[in-house]
Amino acid sequence: MSDAANHHALNFSDLTPREAYKVMIGTIVPRPIAWVTTISPDGVVNAAPYSFFNCLSADPPILALGVENKPDRSFKDTAYNIRMTECFTVNIVDRANVRAMAVTAAGFAAEVDELEMAGLTASPGLEVPCPRIAEAPVAFECRRYLGIEVSSAREIILGKIVMAHVREDIIDLETFYSDHQKLDALGRMGGNGYAGTLDYFDLATPSVDQVLAGRSEKRAG
C-alpha cells in the first residue's frame, strides 16, 4: 500500500483555476474526445473538439459535454449553436482523423466552416439538423437534454442520443459489440498529448468468493 507521505496534498481551494485545470488534465487521462458538430441558425456548420466529455447514462442514453466560454464570458460557437438549435452531434476521433481534428480546433471566426477548412465531409443528420463528419468512424446525433451552468465561464451540456452512425466494420449487429482495434480511437492527455486505445487488455471482475480465496491464500503464505 502507498504511504500518504509520498503524495502531494493539493487543496483545490488554494489553487487558481488554471492550476486546477493543469492538475486535472494531466492526471485524468486519457480523456475521450468529443468532436462536436453543430449548425448555426444561419446554417453555418461548426466543428470543434472537446475532451471534457463522457457518457453518463444508457437509459436514457445521455452524453455530457463540458464547454468553456470565451474569456469575455460570451458563448463559443458550439455552445451558442446548441442553445439556438437544441442539437449537436458527437463524432469520435480515430487516429486517421487526428490531424483534421486539430485543424478544427483552430480559432476560426464564427462564419468559417471548419469542416471545409479541414477537408472533411459534412453528412446530413437523420434526426437532427446539424451534420455529422462522414470520415469519423462513429457519430452520435444528440438533442439537448439539459444545460448546467456551473460558473460564468463553463457550462455542462447533457445530450440525449437519438441516432448513432457506426462504421460497418466496427460493430457486430448481432451482439452490438464493437471492435476497438478497428475503431482505433484516440484520447486526450495533458498539454498537446494524445494516446491511442490499442494498448488494451482484458481483466475480468472477480467474484466475492475469488477475492476472499485470494486473501486467504495470502495469509496462509
pLDDT at 81 over 50: yes
Give the number of other CB atoms < 10 A from CB of residue 9.
Answer: 6
- Identify the residue with better confidence: 208 or 75: 208
Residue 68 has φ and ψ, to the nearest 5°, of: -90, 140
Helix (H, G, I), strand (E, B) or coil at 162: strand
H helix or E strand, kind and range, residue 152: none
Retrieve residue 55's grid coordinates. Answer: 457518457
- pLDDT of 1 > 50? The answer is no
Per-residue model confidence (pLDDT) at position 2: 52
C-alpha cell at 68: 468553456
CA–CA separation, 199 and 185 (whole Å): 11
Q: Say whether pLDDT at 159 is over 90.
A: yes
Q: Is the pLDDT of residue 91 over 70?
A: yes
**pLDDT tens digit string along 95-148?**
999 999 999 998 888 888 889 999 999 999 999 999 999 999 999 999 999 999
Per-residue pLDDT band at 73 (split at 50, 70, 90): low
170's grid cell: 466496427
Q: Which residues lie closer than 8 Å to 195 by C-beta, 6 or more apart?
A: 29, 30, 186, 187, 188, 189
Q: Which domains can be identified in the chain, with CATH numbers?
A: 4-220 (2.30.110.10)
What is the Cα–Cα distance from 195 to 187, expressed in whole angstroms? 5
Alpha helix positions (H), 95-150: 98-104, 114-117
Instruction: Provide the mean pLDDT of the chain.
Output: 92
Considering the chain, what percentage of its residues have pLDDT values greater than 90?
74
Cα atoms in the Cβ-side hemisphere of radius 13 Å centred on 95: 9
Among 31-40, 50-59, 62-71, 170-179, the minimum mean pLDDT is found in: 62-71
Contact assessment for residue 88 and residue 36, using Cβ atoms and an 8 Å cutoff: yes
Q: Which residues pair with 157 in a beta bridge?
A: 65, 147
**Close Cβ partners of 96 (under 8 Å, ≥ 6 residues apart):** 135, 184
Q: Minimum mean pLDDT among 63-67, 158-162, 215-219: which range?
A: 215-219
